């Protein structure tokens, strides 16, 4: 309960790999709330998730019904299409929204004061946003994944995309949210992207090279893919959990 006696509820849109990690973190009290309200366009996924938890979970049949439950925060862990359909409705209710499918935000007109983007499968965004204020000359992202994670059957290393972040997020809506997150962080600087299918790698690897006004940065992340969804790095789910903890703490302070 919050200090004013109101139940602390979290809404979840999407009950796949990331949604499941989030729900398990709530059950283990890593994230503290009184109730989880879940929705998935595939009701069987929501039913499966609810059945796996002992924590209080309410399954709803629509996002509108989810919003009627008055959650403090809603986490989108579904798809870019879900963000496009529901983001405006959620923020219009004054509810904080965590977006995992960040590619949708690149060309979405929404009130960003209530929209929050976790770091996802990478880090160092604080340094990048600081550099962006001073002036960034160039940002390059090289992502290397096993062909299975990119739904290809390449037997040898192959560059399957080379271009800019916005198109990469459109062509690979589930695999390249990292590119979209980078683009949002350094906007209006364009992020160059290379996507490599490499059968020799077992981890989703992202290398970020930055040239800015006062120096250079090189960041590298090699993340274990989620066992049930190789397109998703486990770190992405945990970054959402960390952000959710912060937003709930802020909500408690505001109610004191």
Query: What per-residue confidence (pLDDT) applies to 133?
Result: 96
pLDDT (tens place) for every residue of the chain, 256 residues total:
555 546 689 999 999 999 999 999 999 999 999 999 999 999 999 999 999 999 999 999 999 999 999 999 999 999 999 999 999 999 999 999 999 999 999 988 888 899 999 999 999 999 999 999 999 999 999 999 999 888 888 889 999 999 999 999 999 998 899 999 999 999 999 999 999 999 999 999 999 999 999 999 999 999 988 777 777 888 999 999 999 999 998 866 565 5
15 to each of 42, 101, 111, 121, 141, how far by Cα in Å?
Answer: 9, 14, 25, 19, 29
226 labelled catalytic: no
Distance CA 64, CA 52 (A): 24
For domain 9-116+235-255, give the fold: Rossmann fold (3.40.50)
Please give the pLDDT value at position 256.
52
DSSP lists the bridge partners of residue 193 as: 141, 163
Tokens 């109101």, residue located: 6
Q: How far apart are CA 23 and CA 12, in angstroms?
A: 9
**Which residue is catalytic, options 144, 174, 206, 231?**
206
CATH architecture group of domain 125-223 = 2-Layer Sandwich (3.30)
Integer Cα distance of 98 and 116 in angstroms: 5
DSSP-derived secondary structure letter, 54: -
114-145 in b/e burial notation, b at 16+ Cβ within 10 A? Answer: bbbbbbbbbebbeebeebbeeebeebebbbbb
Domain ranges of the chain: 9-116+235-255, 125-223
């Amino acid at each position: 309960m919050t200090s004013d006696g109101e139940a602390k509820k979290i809404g979840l849109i999407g009950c796949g790999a990331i949604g499941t990690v989030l729900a398990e973190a709530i059950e283990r009290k890593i994230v503290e709330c009184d109730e989880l309200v879940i929705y998935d366009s595939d009701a069987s996924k929501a039913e499966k998730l609810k059945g796996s938890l002992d924590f209080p979970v309410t399954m709803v049949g629509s996002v509108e019904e989810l919003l009627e439950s008055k959650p403090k925060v809603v986490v989108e862990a579904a798809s870019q299409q879900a963000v496009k359909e529901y983001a405006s409705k959620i923020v219009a209710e004054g509810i904080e929204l965590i977006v995992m499918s960040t590619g949708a935000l690149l060309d979405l007109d929404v009130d960003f004061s209530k929209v929050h983007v976790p770091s996802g499968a990478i880090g160092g965004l604080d340094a990048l946003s600081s550099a962006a204020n001073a002036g960034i000359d160039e940002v390059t992202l090289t992502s290397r994944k096993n062909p299975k994670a990119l739904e290809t059957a390449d037997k040898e290393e192959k560059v399957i995309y080379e271009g800019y972040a916005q198109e990469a997020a459109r062509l690979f809506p589930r695999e390249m949210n990292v590119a979209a997150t980078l683009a949002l962080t350094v906007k209006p600087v364009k992020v160059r992207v290379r996507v490599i299918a490499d059968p020799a790698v077992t981890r989703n690897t992202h290398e970020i090279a930055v040239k800015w006004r006062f120096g250079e940065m090189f960041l590298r992340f090699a993340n274990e893919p989620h066992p049930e969804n190789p397109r998703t790095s486990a770190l992405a789910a945990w970054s959402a959990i960390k952000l959710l903890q912060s937003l709930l703490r802020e909500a408690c302070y505001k109610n004191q």
